[in-house]
Amino acid sequence: GFRKSRPEDQRISSEVQIFVEGLPAHCKVTELVEFFSSVGEIKVDRESRQPRVWLYTDKGTGQPKGEATITYRDPASQTLALRTFHEQMYQGRVIKVTPSMVKPHMATIPAL
């Protein structure tokens, strides 16, 4: 069953989500979807119908941090994204792409 994760729970590498660093402050979710979906389908949230792309902002200032997570529909797409985009140019900046560190219950695609 579902159990709420605790702060001390160990985080592990996601099989479907990437963490992107070094993005330009002005980048938009739509641009990220277009760029990162070239290697595979980005998961769409069932409720909001929006792509599972999260742009991080500074909690104090509300300014973009140049970081994002992007969730793919399958592990093969994530693997290809890691190989394709890490240390590549995005809008004139070199980006770093690594597997997201997530709580264990979030690491894989839920079985349907």
Provide the total of helices (H) and of strands (E) in the chain, helices listed first. 2, 6
What pLDDT does residue 93 have? 95
The rounded mean pLDDT for the chain is 89
Query: Contact at 8 Å (CB) between 66 and 25?
Result: yes
> What pLDDT sits at residue 108?
73
C-alpha atoms less than 13 angstroms from C-alpha of 4 in its C-beta half-sphere: 2
Q: What is the pTM of this model?
A: 0.85
Residue bearing tokens 């993005």: 23
12-21/53-57 β-pairing = unpaired
pLDDT tens-digit series, residues 47-101: 999 999 999 999 999 999 999 999 999 999 999 999 999 999 999 999 999 999 8
CA distance 38 to 21: 18
